[in-house]
Amino acid sequence: MPAMASMEPHSSTVANAIRKPRVLVVDDNGLSLQVAARLLRDLDCQGALAPDGLTALRLIEEQVFDLVLLDVEMPHFNGQETLLALRARMGMRLRIFMVTGHDDESTSQHYIALGADGMLSKPLTVDGLRHVVQRIDVQATS
């Protein structure tokens, strides 16, 4: 009788190639978190939600993520503070996209200069999120 183990992937590379993208969404608005969670499910991503920057920093220490969607305007520990803290801890190996309802060229340039990989406008859309997730997948496999 053949061993069942032979049907399992032989390397972590194969396992990583088929795993779902892991996305952390950070937003103080509960409705925005619900919308993001639904969109991530629609895109077959694993999602985690954080209501503030401090929770996001804790989750980053506990779990591995491929992408962070980070709201710009949050009380207590805002998007800029969270972005800087994430970059200090993780360097550039974590993809971080800022999310804002006030997306303009100067805002985008500001956050990209601070280390963000890009910007997404609110409300999030499945097409906008798909574009970002596909970029992460392509970069991870190339």
Exposure of 72 in the CB half-sphere (CA atoms within 13 A):
20
Whole-prediction pTM: 0.83
Q: Note whether 87 and 42 are within 8 A (CB).
A: no
- Please, which pLDDT band fits residue 76 given cuts at 50, 70 and 90? confident
Structure confidence by residue, pLDDT tens digits, 10-28: 444 444 456 899 999 999 9
Domain boundaries, the chain: 19-141
Mean pLDDT in residue range 108-121: 96
H or E stretch covering 85:
helix 79-90
Which among 36, 18, 32, 2 has a CA at the least distance from the CA of 129? 36
Selected from 3.20.20.70, 2.60.120.260, 3.40.50.10490, 3.40.50.2300, the CATH number assigned to the domain covering 19-141 reads 3.40.50.2300
Given a cut of 60, whether residue 6 has pLDDT beyond it is: no
Query: What is the average pLDDT across 36-56?
Result: 97
